């Protein structure tokens, strides 16, 4: 399910082939550029860092609010945590705390950006950090690669829910479709029908897991990942985003 080590020649050929197929079919196998939230200032946040199981130090920001619950935001491939700051900044004192982080090799974090197979370890490190701070429940919000890593990380953690924006059923070495059945009541998914790879991924997930239909939101358009919250369907996407997070706290 997870491969370890640096990028191999076989992985390189896989990515080249994937990109070639994407060019022919008009779909994306990796996160694609698109409108993303304006970068916030992390107002009210504390700079934090934590280490992964294989010794990589990750950079993050923590908005401490509710001491029992935390939302962990995971960004897309080639992105960084700043795209989640405007969302993480929102919240009253009684709302869940928020944690953002840069995946390895992204933003201010150490490591190799091409070690995609290790990104679930980054998400697990964030969960461990949250537990050390006393948080009892978590919801991971991931976009693109962040959703794939989050699904793998949350699969065996019954205290963690997962909200995926344009969640891929496979991403480079990651194959979240293999473990999605472990999150059936703890997962929500949002995508657009014009984002063909994300639409197909939802179909793949539904073949492998009995995800409640109310937890799957398919919007019109082509917005992808973090861009769902600022794109042409941002009102519907934001409403679905808030509803699903609220429901995941109760799962």
HSE (side-chain half, CA atoms, 13 Å) at 179: 20
pLDDT at site 30: 63
Residue 33 inside a domain? The answer is no
Render pLDDT for 229-246 as a digit per residue (tens, 0 to 9).
Answer: 999 999 999 999 999 999
pLDDT band of residue 14 (cuts 50, 70, 90) is very low
d(CA 156, CA 93) in angstroms, rounded, equals: 30
pTM of the model: 0.87
Residue 34 inside a domain? The answer is no
HSE (side-chain half, CA atoms, 13 Å) at 212: 11
Render pLDDT for 88-113 as a digit per residue (tens, 0 to 9).
Answer: 999 899 999 999 999 999 999 999 99
pLDDT at site 229: 96
Check whether 208 has a pLDDT greater than 60.
yes
Q: Which residues pair with 138 in a beta bridge?
A: 70, 160
Residue 105 inside a domain? The answer is yes
Residue 106 inside a domain? The answer is yes
Residue 15 inside a domain? The answer is no
Domain containing 221 equals 40-249
pLDDT at site 251: 83
Whether 114 contacts 65, CB under 8 Å: no
pLDDT at site 38: 58
Check whether 166 has a pLDDT greater than 70.
yes
Task: Give residue for tokens 């962040």.
Answer: 146
pLDDT at site 41: 82
Q: Which of the residue ranges 40-44, 145-149, 218-222 would you say has the lowest mean pLDDT?
A: 40-44
Residue 98 inside a domain? The answer is yes
User: Which CATH number characterizes residue 59's domain?
Assistant: 3.40.50.1820
d(CA 100, CA 74) in angstroms, rounded, equals: 7
Greater confidence, 119 or 30?
A: 119
User: Domain total for the chain?
Assistant: 1
Residue 29 inside a domain? The answer is no
Residue 8 inside a domain? The answer is no
Render pLDDT for 22-75 as a digit per residue (tens, 0 to 9).
Answer: 433 333 456 755 555 656 688 899 999 999 999 999 999 999 999 999 999 999
- Mean per-residue pLDDT over the chain, rounded: 89
């Amino acid at each position: 399910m997870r491969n370890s080590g640096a990028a191999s020649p076989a992985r390189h050929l896989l990515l080249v082939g994937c990109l070639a197929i994407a060019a022919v079919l008009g779909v994306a196998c990796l996160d694609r550029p698109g409108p993303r939230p304006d970068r916030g200032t992390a107002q009210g946040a504390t700079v934090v860092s934590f280490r992964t199981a294989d010794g990589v130090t990750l950079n993050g920001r923590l908005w401490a609010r509710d001491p029992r619950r935390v939302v962990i935001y995971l960004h897309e491939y080639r992105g960084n945590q700043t795209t989640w700051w405007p969302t993480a900044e929102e919240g009253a004192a009684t709302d869940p705390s928020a944690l953002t982080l840069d995946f390895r090799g992204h933003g201010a974090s150490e490591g190799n950006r091409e070690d995609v197979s290790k990104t679930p370890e980054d998400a697990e490190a964030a969960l461990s950090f949250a537990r050390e701070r006393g948080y009892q429940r978590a919801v991971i919000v991931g976009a693109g690669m962040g959703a794939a890593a989050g699904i793998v990380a949350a699969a065996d953690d019954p205290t963690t829910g997962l909200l995926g924006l344009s969640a891929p059923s496979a991403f480079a070495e990651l194959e979240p479709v293999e473990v999605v059945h472990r999150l059936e009541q703890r997962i929500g998914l949002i995508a657009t029908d014009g984002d063909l790879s994300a639409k197909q991924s939802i179909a793949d997930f539904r073949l492998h897991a009995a995800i409640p239909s109310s937890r799957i939101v398919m919007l019109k358009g082509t917005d992808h990942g973090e861009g769902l919250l600022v794109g042409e369907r941002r009102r519907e996407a934001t409403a679905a985003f808030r509803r699903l997070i609220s429901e995941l706290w109760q799962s």
